[in-house]
Structure formats: structure tokens, C-alpha cells
Amino acid sequence: MTAPVTLFWFRRDLRLHDNAGLYYALKQGNPVLPLFIFDRMILDRLDNKQDKRVSFIYEAICHLKQQLQDIGTDLKIIYANPEQAFRELLQDYSVNAVYTNHDYEPAAIRRDEEIARFLKAQHIGLHTFKDQVIFDRDEVVKDDQTPYTVFTPYSRKWLEKLDDYYLSSYPVQQYTTHFHPVKKPFRMPALQELGFEPVPGVFHHPAIPVKIIGHYEQTRDYPALHGTSRLSVHLRFGTVSIRELVRRGKALNDTWLKELIWREFYMAILYHFPHVDGQSFKKQYDLIPWRNNEQEFEAWCQGRTGYPIVDAGMRELNSTGFMHNRVRMITASFLTKHLLIDWRWGEAYFAEKLLDYDLAANNGGWQWAASSGCDAVPYFRIFNPGEQARKFDPESKYIRKWIPELGTLDYPGPIVEHKAARERALTVYKKALQKDA
């Protein structure tokens, strides 16, 4: 048994710099042993053995492990469910505390409560800190302390509250001598041992594209352009600091900064209204009798609906794990309004495919498109895919990139006629909502 150590448990914060929980762990003085758990409870549920997210995390962990080795410590990696991992660690180490950063998803909250109970029984504290957001939980609420459910007043309060205190970095580098020294590097399991095959080229180090952010409002809606920052995956896994990004957004572009505020708005909604994970935020929208045609859903998934902008988006998603945000709105609107397929089906498909998948943002986006969410598009606003393509991909560059067979017999005709689908959606929504009135 070694001398007492403090464990720092990396999760959605895969970086050393400006890491709140890591800073506090190092500052408390006892040697800090870094830990990452490949959680079997999550990994064993993934059917795709070439999951791009797992490859991204694996490469990020390799990079983090090398950084730690360079300063004389190492990352302890365990493949198990979290409680089993801590049982293992307590056999080898005298652990006096566990530090980590808050996680806000319902399943993660339950996991952390279970781990806290387990550790408490061993007389070990679990200390968690705010790191992946500027404001969390009850920090941005109305004057009567109830949560906001409309974005504009939320964002106004968010910006009013923002000051240098919330944007200050945590100077981890001042305390790196407080890491637990490791002379012989810990073993890194091969990705195949975790049950997955590597997907090359998925991970890249975060770089803040200053020029793109500076022109964001001019380029963000055009999928043929490289006009968005592509930082969402780095925010998802914490390979970049939210404080650094907000500082850049403040300096460079208010429109881009607003996207970061939307992210926190949806995280607050999930925290205050956990029923949105599986149910409509506006509960009357659960009365909508979805058609849920499985053949049409499969055509949507495969990018074979006969609507080029929809199909291009789905093929981009299937091929790369990314979809342009404007196209996410178009594809989601098409599924829920044109095909009258339950938004939860689309949400689950995106959850499986998106490299930057985040429960709060994905759920918020789908409920926005289906009109069932807070501050959502009204049900009678239905995107016209043809008009969207003409407006945002006028030369069809994006469409032709993903649909090379466009204009040939190999490309299907539309599975539904726009005007008829729109009228059907309006009728179904109106009737269901009148029942509740």
C-alpha cells in the first residue's frame, strides 16, 4: 500500500490546462494520481464497434497520458464499471479523497450519487467542481429563483452576470509538482481490448479558428463552406476550456458567443426539467399520433428521401459523424413534420452517430424542431427543404459532394410531396393540441 493519494477522475474534461477540479485536487497538497475509467456500463451498450466517439476519446486519452508522463506522473486507466474500478484502486492505494468535475446528465448524476455513497462508506469524500460551463444549475435563474424556459431573457441574465471572475483560468501549471510520481508507466489497454476498432483521423487537437469565428454570422448557414468552428466535439469531451472559448467569443463575435450560451441554456433545461430526456418539454405534444413508418425512417437514415439537402446531411452524418447545424435543423424538421416520425427516433439516431453528441444539446435541438421543446419553433413553421437548399446551398456544392448520383436514375424521387406533407402535419398537430386544450 502506498502513501495516501488523492485521485483525480477525468471524464468530460480531457485536458490538463484550465481544469477546475484538477486545480483544486492539486492545490490541496496530497499527491494526486490521475484516473480515467473506460466505463463498461456505457461501452457495452454501443453496438457499432467502429464508434468514432470511442476512437476520439481513446486518442485524447493517449495524448493526455503522454503529457502526464512528460511531467513525471501517469494516467491510471481502468476498464470496468466505476464502482468496480474504485474497489480495485482501494486495494492498491491509500486514497484520502476523490476529485472530479460536475456532470449534468441524469445518468451521470445517478452514477455520481452511487459512487459518492460507496466512497463515503470507505470514509472517502467525492468532491466535484463546475468546469464544463460558465454558469450551472441555479446560477442563472429568474428573480423569483425559478428556471428560465425562454432563451432571450436567459441569455440576457447570463451576459449581465458574466465578469472576469467567471472567465479566469485555473492555473494548474503552478501545482504540477503535486502529482503522484510514477516511475514505471501504467499500461494502456489497446482499443481492441475494449471491444472496438480504431477509426483513423477522428481525433485532432483543438485549434480556435479566429478568422472563422470573426465572420461567423456571414458563413455559419452555408454547409458548403468551412464556416463554423467545429469545436463542439472538443466541448463535448473537454479537450478545450469553455472559459477560453467564451473569452474569445466576447472578443471576436457576439453571434458565436450566443451559440455557447444556447449550449448552457439547454444544459440548464435538462438539469431543471429532467423529464425532457424521453418526454416532450411541453407535455401536450406527447399526444401527437406519430405515423412512425419504418420504411420512411430507414430512407431518412440512409439519405434516400429524394430531398437532396436532407439526404446530403444524413450522408455527411453517416460518413463523418458530423452534420452542419443548419442541415441538422432541416433534417430534423423533415423527419418530424414531413414524415410525422417521433422526434425521439431521430434524437436516438443522432445520439448514435454524432461525434459531438451531447444529450442536452441534441435533445434541445430535436424538441425545437418538433415544436415540443422550450422556446421552440411554432408547430406551423415547417421548413421547405427545396427553399432551404436554394437559399443556403445555391450552387449545390454541398449537395453534390454527398450525392454524386444526383440527377441520375440511381437517385430516388421524393418519398413525400412537400405541400401535402405540410398540410398533413398542420392537421395532425392542430388536432392533437386542440384535444389537450
Task: Report pLDDT for 3.
Answer: 77
CB 61 within 8 A of CB 75: yes
The correct answer on CATH 3.30.450.20 for the domain covering 1-132 is no
In this structure, which amino acid lies at residue 6?
T
In this structure, which amino acid lies at residue 196?
F
- The number of CA neighbours under 13 Å toward the Cβ of 259 is 18
Task: Report pLDDT for 435.
Answer: 76
Task: Report pLDDT for 80.
Answer: 97
CATH topology of domain 133-169+210-272: 1.25.40
Each residue's pLDDT tens digit in the chain (437 positions)? 567 999 999 999 999 999 999 999 999 989 999 999 999 999 999 989 999 999 999 999 999 999 999 999 999 999 999 999 999 999 999 999 999 999 999 999 999 999 999 999 999 999 999 999 999 999 999 999 999 999 999 999 999 999 999 999 999 999 999 999 999 999 999 999 999 999 999 999 999 999 999 999 999 999 999 999 999 999 999 999 999 999 999 999 999 999 999 999 999 999 999 999 999 999 999 999 999 999 999 999 999 999 999 999 999 999 999 999 999 999 999 999 999 999 999 999 999 999 999 999 999 999 999 999 999 999 999 999 999 999 999 999 999 999 999 999 999 999 999 999 999 999 999 999 987 65
CA distance 354 to 403: 20
Element (H, E) at 64: helix 52-70
Task: Report pLDDT for 11.
Answer: 98
Helix axes 359-370, 325-333, angle to 10 degrees: 50
- CATH architecture type of domain 276-436: Orthogonal Bundle (1.10)
Residue numbers annotated as active site = 259, 262, 290, 325, 343, 366
Matching fold, domains 1-132 and 276-436:
no
Q: What is the largest CA-CA distance in the chain?
A: 72
Task: Report pLDDT for 205.
Answer: 92
Domains of the chain, residue spans: 1-132, 133-169+210-272, 276-436
3-state secondary structure of 141: coil
Task: Report pLDDT for 2.
Answer: 66
CA distance 16 to 171: 10
Neighbours of 168 (CB within 10 A): 11
Sequence-ordered alpha helix ranges (H) in 281-396: 294-302, 308-320, 325-333, 343-353, 359-370, 385-392
Chain centroid to CA 396: how far? 29
Element (H, E) at 76: strand 76-80
